[in-house]
Amino acid sequence: MEIDGGEPMNAYAELVRELKSLRKGRGVLAGRIGDRVGPTLRATCGVTEGDEPGAIRRKVSARLAELAGRLPADLRLATLAAFAIDDDARQLPLYQDRVHWAAVRMDRDPRTVRRRVDEAINHLAELAADAPRDQPPGRAGGWRTTGLHAVLTLDRPRPEVIERHQVVADGDGLRELPLTPPLPLDRSDLDARVLYGGTLAGPTLVLPVPVREGHPHDFAVRFRPPTADAMRSHLVYVPRHPCDLLDLRVRFGRTTAPPRVWALHGADRHDGAHPGRRYPVDQAGEVHLRFRHLAPGLAYGVRWEV
């Protein structure tokens, strides 16, 4: 693209312009999303010519959430609100509504939040420009998680975590995946079993056959710590790769449910000490949380009062 009498617009400036255009209206939920995502943003997010609208939304949301995860908390929130990536903010159809929503969350006036959004967009463009040229976005490690369904049971003598994963290969020949238990589980004394979808070789899941680019693979694992104390106060996931959905259930039991429970959504601390948001326990003694567009390096999960 050329501007100002034929001077080429650099990728940073073009990405800033495209991001400011995308934040308008419904953000990543806009109709005709393919027309709203410009060529520089497409390259940044790994969007290809044949991608359907749903795939474009997922790729753009995941990439922006990943980049925002490297920013300070206020700029991260401003990003997730501006582009309608946050689960609550995505319910608001207008950019100005999401700005007001973020203003309440940040205890700032809307003008300050607008400045934060502009600042965040500049940083996002800088981070994207610094990405390695020979490694397409979203392809670090060759896969992404489209769904992780996890259940923690605490109403029995020995806790148990069962996970069902669906991953999609970002390149041909995906053959193995790192198997990382949630915190605070310690792999050194953990009973880890593959229920289906591969075989365990140390901390690695070896897939039955190589997976081709764009194809999904499902697997399930079970983790059992040696004692109940190992799951005393929290369960936290810190994704290393983009993750579209974490569906998490914790069963405390009707008679042993804790008095207070908090949901951790994109926390900076991984030890469960982040304040979080108060969350109700139902009459069965369970909580059910869903997190979307998880940013790599941040913590998602639940903690409870001991």
The string of pLDDT tens digits covering residues 47-82 is 888 888 888 888 888 888 888 877 888 888 899 999
Q: Is residue 201 scored above 90 in pLDDT?
A: no
Residue 121 in tokens = 């967009």
116-142 burial by CB neighbour count: b if 16+ within 10 A, else e? bbbbbbebbbeebeeeeeeebbbebeb
Q: How many other CB atoms are there within 10 angstroms of residue 83's CB atom?
A: 30
pLDDT of the residue at 134: 36
Q: Is residue 137 scored above 70 in pLDDT?
A: no
Q: What are the φ and ψ backbone dihedral angles of 195, each rounded to 5 degrees?
A: -85, -35
The string of pLDDT tens digits covering residues 82-99 is 999 887 888 899 999 999
The string of pLDDT tens digits covering residues 204-243 is 899 999 898 888 999 999 999 988 788 889 999 988 888 8
pLDDT of the residue at 131: 57
Q: Is residue 136 scored above 50 in pLDDT?
A: no
pLDDT of the residue at 120: 94
Pairing, β 204-211 against β 234-237:
unpaired
* pLDDT tier, 6 (very low <50, low <70, confident <90, very high otherwise): very low
Q: Where are the alpha helices (DSSP H) in 130-270?
A: none
* pLDDT tier, 141 (very low <50, low <70, confident <90, very high otherwise): very low
pLDDT of the residue at 5: 37
Letter for the amino acid at 56? I
Average pLDDT of span 241-255: 91
User: 3-state DSSP: the chain helix, strand, coil percent, rounded to 5?
Assistant: 30, 30, 40
The string of pLDDT tens digits covering residues 13-49 is 899 999 999 999 999 998 889 999 999 998 888 888 8
* pLDDT tier, 2 (very low <50, low <70, confident <90, very high otherwise): very low
The string of pLDDT tens digits covering residues 253-291 is 988 889 999 999 887 777 777 778 899 999 999 999 999
The string of pLDDT tens digits covering residues 144-195 is 899 999 999 999 888 999 999 999 887 778 889 988 899 998 877 789 999 9
pLDDT of the residue at 21: 94
Count Cα atoms within 13 angstroms, Cβ side, for 158: 9
pLDDT of the residue at 306: 79
* pLDDT tier, 4 (very low <50, low <70, confident <90, very high otherwise): very low
Q: Whole-structure pTM over 0.85, yes or no?
A: no
